[in-house]
Structure 1
């Protein structure tokens, strides 16, 4: 398979992954926690890199390979965040303290109580959904690590 096809395939799989996360949020009603949102950032960076690599592959294979390598690194970053998040969900380590709803300026005790009553806390340490024992963070760790390995393999070996 050519470098261009690899790049477009990897971009499509990554885009489908982030669309799946949005689907769980917007259609499935599972709001993301702060770590879930952090896992999405490398996709927002990586998908355009892979598309650009696909567009450049025929005319400029070296820059395309570099861009696909950067895509792979972005996927390894999100795999690390996802593995960290999955470990928090399994209770292997403690998570960040910011996995709670935002609290605005507090002027007195009654305004604090009113804000607490309205706050929706999205916990990083409780998996909102599991399939075969894996949470969404667990699946993201597997998918993004696979994308990263495939991208680095394609960047180094695929024919231009």
Structure 2
């Protein structure tokens, strides 16, 4: 497979993961804050792939695509750790933080508080014992490897 085709394959993989995330969202699985963090780097990898179509398989684009896929994988590992209780996540979307400390009794009883916060430390969907964040990490690192493989090819 040529360098360009490998780069386009990797970008298409990021596009497939992103479209899959949107499909889950359309099916009623609202994303949490950490889920959103995992999406942005895929967008960068997709953009790098689009530029490969226009400009050709430039090394800089390959590096950008690899970095985007790898960064999404890192966010996926972080999110998996939050889900499994290995470390604390952002206090704005986890139950383990001390997010209630700054709230008064009236704030806690108020009906005006947001009710649509999706918790980052709760697994919404899993397959084969792995959450969406875990699958994203595995697949994102695989896509980063494809980007790196493309960079190792000549022209």
Q: TM-score, normalised by structure 1?
A: 0.83
Aligned equivalents of 1:111, 1:83: Cα separation in 2: 32
> Larger deviation: 145-154 or 48-57?
48-57
Aligned residues: 146
> How far did 1:12 drift?
1.1
Q: 1:113 aligns with which of 105, 110, 114?
A: 110
Question: What CA deviation, in whole Å up to 9, does each residue of 1:56-101 have, x standing for no partner?
Answer: 33xxx5xx1220121101111111111000011111111110117x
Please identify runs of 4+ aligned residues in structure 1 that moved more than 6 A.
none
1:47 is aligned to: 46
Aligned position for 2:23? 23
The structural deviation recorded for 1:143 is 0.6
Q: Which residue of 2 aligns with 1:81?
A: 75
Tell me if structure 2 keeps the 8 A contact 1:6–1:54: no
- Which residue is equivalent to 1:129? 125
What is the Cα-based RMSD across aligned positions, in Å?
A: 2.1
Question: 2:66 maps to what in 1?
Answer: 72
Residue 14 (structure 1) aligns with: 14
Structure 1's unaligned 5+ residue stretches are 101-108
Structure 2 Cα separation of the partners of residues 115 and 144 of structure 1: 38
SS of corresponding position for 2:111: helix
* Residues 31 and 118 in structure 2, CA contact (< 8 A), matched pair in contact too: yes
Q: Larger % of helix: which? A: 1
Structure 1 residue aligned with 2:86, among 69, 83, 92?
A: 92
- Gapped regions of structure 2 (runs ≥ 5): 95-105
Find the counterpart in structure 2 of residue 38 from structure 1.
37
CA distance in 1: counterparts of 2:108 and 2:92, whole angstroms: 21
Contact residue 6 and residue 150 of structure 2 kept, 8 A: yes
